[in-house]
Amino acid sequence: MKFKKLVAVLSTVMLIGAMTVGCAKPAETTAPAASTEEAAPAPAAEAEAKPEEAPKNEKLVVGFAQIGQESGWRDAETWSILNTAEEIGVDLKFSDGQQKQENQIKAIRTFIQQEVDVIGVAPVVETGWETVFKEAKDAGIPIVLVDRRAAVPEDLYAGFIGSDFILEGQSAAKEMATLLGNKGNIVELQGTVGASAATDRMTGFTDELKNYPDMKILASQTGDFTRAKGKEVMEAFLKAYPGEINGVYAHNDDMALGAIEAIKDAGLKPGTDIKVVSIDGVKGIFEAMAAGEANVTVECNPLLGPQFFKAAQDLKDGKTIEKWIKSDEGIFRQETAKDDLPNRKY
């Protein structure tokens, strides 16, 4: 896909640039010596003039530690960050963590060395951030969590921009109940183990399912938010529970698309023989719904660039941002997918 290749190239180029600056020794600068000559007295009219104010809007410098490129949703978020930064003239230091927390931590430390104004991070997992977040706080650099939360004290980050993952899970369970007539067996494709999105989407779905005693989860396993792993896990589920699966709940659309492939390979009709409910709202799942192969997607908006840079500018200007800045989202079903598809931006 041209778009995905473009994002990958842009991400790699910006990562190399960011790390090169971070690792290089800063150039030493010497302030100009003060003049020893006595200044001539200003004319009376000039003396009464108000001194010019220093520019208030210096260029915003931001570091962003992205998770990687595990899904179409993630690519859309990366595009939103890169495109928005270019449009509004932000000096962006971008890092692709390649699904590894250690890479994101290294990037954050590089951003601290570069003395950026604000650091944004989409944490690959929830835990293990406290030390590096404290380093940023000690350096006076606020951190904004984007699309995923981190299990740290609230004073270590300025705010979180993203979705209500628990609500997404609850909505997915309600939609599945409607599709199955409140009765049936479900398999669950989890996201990355330890990721806030995966943890909360599982919690929301499981808690809501308690209201439907005739529905149960036969098996639940991580597909790591990827299409390939989603297909692999679904193939295993179909072999372990032949003829018993009525629905599949995937924590993201990419895993659902992988599951659809596995269902078709097994000689079954996805969307009919096995209902498919997922979360994100990427174009691929709308195409699958339009083809009758998926049933519902609960939207999780990835186009967070404008909200993120607005928050970053506010922080640079000394303002306080909301602790949770929620994104606008909806629920989309098979019945309207053909009409919805032309309007999808990602």
Number of structural domains, the chain? Answer: 2
pLDDT tens digits for range 244-258: 999 999 999 999 999
Residues of the chain with pLDDT under 50: 1-57
Assigned domain for 320 exists:
yes
237 and 310 share a domain? no
Residue 50's pLDDT is what?
41
Residue 25's pLDDT is what?
33
253/272 Cα distance (integer angstroms): 17
Considering only CA atoms, which of 333, 338, 341, 337 is closest in space to residue 179?
333
Residue 174's pLDDT is what?
98
Assigned domain for 32 exists:
no
Residue 34's pLDDT is what?
33
259 and 185 share a domain? yes
Assigned domain for 12 exists:
no
- Full residue range of the structural domain in which residue 228 is found: 165-300
Residue 9's pLDDT is what?
37
Retrieve residue 6's tokens. 């473009």
Burial of 24 (0-12, 13-18, 19+ CB in 10 A): exposed
Assigned domain for 138 exists:
yes
Assigned domain for 85 exists:
yes
pLDDT tens digits for range 201-211: 999 999 999 99
Assigned domain for 39 exists:
no
CATH number at residue 96: 3.40.50.2300
148 and 274 share a domain? no
Assigned domain for 19 exists:
no
Q: What contacts 62, CB < 8 A, 6 or more positions away?
A: 85, 90, 91, 92, 93, 116, 117, 118, 119, 120, 309, 312
